[in-house]
């Protein structure tokens, strides 16, 4: 693993060492920033960004939701900055973190500060560990409730939202689990700390309704892949005990990709390992992101070569 040498700040590439956040910024002080987590995969045609347009649109939607008005970047400029940051760092596969944060604004209004734009990339292969994909992971229901949509809006990837994710995941890991499942304020399953959740029962796939969750781009991809394979996918509320009696439960996200939950709250789920539907979707997803699936051309954006003049040292 090599460290990134460049970071994008505002309108240009800079040495990674310049990637500092001003201490006196609402982004730092109050978590008032919006971000994306995107992956660039290595394919036969070179590095390619998975569902770039959808991620960039979600970044700008997040900014709109939290009330940023005059953004310093357009969608096209975000895509260009992402491509240039990947190429400058010469990564064939990496994780991409674009962010718009509020600089200044210590008096706590959006107008009091200025939105700044940053793109960081890093090499990051396996989020939940290599074993997780094969064996599945163990989860519990968090004692913390997922955000109520009128307290912190779940459609926006706002940095401050992730305090609740960190509380929940830390608690789960200290208790010996791998991941936390968060129930919404209504008592039904919402999502995990950074993944959406699916169950399988009698060969039908269920997933939680969109209103109280981050609308995951991996979730959307898997719904399409599952329907391509002929499965019915139903969006409806899922209760805690419906998890216990599911044939399979799996979670998905950009970082985690597709991972089975083999045990929840000390109850073995199905056969206690990744089941056939989970495995089929893992297989399709792997084909997809390595450029070998019928939908790869639609969802993978090749990273164009960088004009050397764009790199400032």
Residues 187-206 that bind ligand PLP (CB under 6 A): 191, 194-196
> Which position has the token pair 């009128």?
150
How far apart are CB 284 and ligand PLP at their closest, in Å? 15
Q: Is 164 in the site for ligand PLP (CB under 6 A)?
A: no
Q: With CB under 6 A as the contact rule, which of the stretches 26-34, 64-72, 124-132, 209-217 interacts with ligand PLP?
A: 209-217
For helices 217-228 and 52-65, the axis angle rounded to 10 degrees is 140
- In angstroms, the Cα distances linking 31 to 22, 108, 291 are 13, 11, 36
Decide whether 136 or 253 has the Cβ nearer to ligand PLP.
Answer: 253
Q: Is the dihedral of CA 293, 297, 301, 303 positive or negative?
A: positive
- For the bound state, the minimum distance from the C-beta of residue 194 to ligand PLP, rounded and expressed in Å, comes to 4
Is residue 157 annotated as part of the catalytic site, yes or no? yes
DSSP state, residue 281: H
Please report, as residue ranges, which positions from 31 to 50 form the binding site for ligand PLP (by CB under 6 A). 37
Using the minimum distance from each CB to ligand PLP, give the nearer residue, 166 or 229.
166
Active-site option among 125, 157, 169, 287: 157
Binding pattern to ligand PLP, positions 136-155, x when CB under 6 A? --------------------
CB-based burial, 27-60: b 16+ in 10 Å, e otherwise: bbeebbbbbbbbbbbebeeebbbbbbebbbebbb
Q: Alpha-carbon distance 306 to 313, whole Å? A: 15
Q: Taking a C-beta distance cutoff of 8 angstroms, is the pair 14, 312 a contact? A: yes
Contact call for residue 179 and ligand PLP (CB under 6 A): no
Least gap, CB of 219 to ligand PLP (angstroms): 6
- Mask for 251-290, x = binds ligand PLP (CB under 6 A): --xx------------------------------------
Q: At closest approach, how far in Å is the CB of 202 from ligand PLP?
A: 26
Determine the size of the site formed for ligand PLP (CB under 6 A): 12
**Rounded to whole angstroms, how far apart are CA atoms 177 and 194?**
15
Instruction: Lay out the site mask for ligand PLP across 216-255 (x = CB under 6 A, - = otherwise).
Output: xxxx---------------------------------xx-
Distance CA 241, CA 201 (A): 13
With beta carbons less than 8 A apart as the criterion, state whether 75 and 57 touch.
yes
- Which runs of E-coded beta strand occur in 129-280? 137-141, 179-183, 189-192, 196-201, 204-207, 233-235, 248-253, 257-264, 267-268
Least separation, in Å, of the C-beta of 271 and ligand PLP? 26
Q: Which stretch binds ligand PLP (CB under 6 A): 11-19, 198-206, 212-220, 225-233?
A: 212-220
Q: Which helix (H) or strand (E) covers residue 222, if one does?
A: helix 217-228
Any idea which residues carry the catalytic annotation?
Answer: 157
Q: What is the contact surface with ligand PLP in residues (CB under 6 A)?
A: 37, 191, 194-196, 214, 216-219, 253-254
């Amino acid at each position: 693993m090599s460290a990134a040498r460049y970071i994008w700040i505002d309108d240009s590439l800079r040495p990674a060492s310049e990637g500092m956040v001003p201490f006196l910024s609402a982004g730092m002080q109050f978590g008032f920033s919006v971000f994306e987590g995107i992956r660039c995969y290595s394919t036969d045609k070179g590095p390619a960004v998975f569902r770039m347009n959808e991620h960039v649109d979600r970044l700008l939607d997040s900014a709109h939701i939290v009330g940023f008005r005059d953004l310093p970047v357009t969608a096209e400029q975000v895509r260009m900055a992402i491509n240039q940051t990947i190429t400058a760092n010469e990564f064939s596969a990496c994780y991409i973190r674009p962010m718009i944060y509020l600089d200044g604004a210590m008096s706590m209004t959006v107008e009091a500060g200025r939105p700044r734009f940053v793109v960081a990339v890093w090499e990051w292969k396996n989020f939940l560990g290599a074993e997780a994909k094969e064996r599945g992971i163990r989860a519990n229901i968090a004692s913390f409730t997922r955000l109520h949509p009128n307290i912190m809006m779940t459609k926006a990837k706002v940095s401050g939202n992730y305090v609740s994710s960190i509380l929940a995941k830390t608690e789960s890991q200290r208790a010996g689990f791998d991941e936390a499942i968060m129930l919404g304020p209504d008592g039904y399953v919402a999502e995990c700390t950074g993944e959406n959740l699916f169950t399988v029962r009698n060969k039908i796939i269920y997933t939680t309704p969109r209103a109280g969750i981050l609308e995951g781009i991996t979730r959307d991809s898997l719904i399409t892949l599952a329907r391509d394979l002929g499965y019915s996918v139903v969006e409806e509320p899922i209760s805690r005990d419906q998890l216990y009696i599911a044939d399979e439960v799996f979670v998905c996200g950009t970082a985690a990709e597709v991972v089975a939950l083999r045990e929840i709250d000390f109850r073995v789920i199905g056969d206690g390992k990744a089941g056939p539907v989970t495995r089929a979707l893992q297989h399709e997803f792997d084909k997809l992101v390595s450029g070998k699936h019928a939908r790869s051309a639609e969802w993978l954006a090749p990273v164009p070569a960088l004009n050397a003049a764009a790199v400032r040292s």
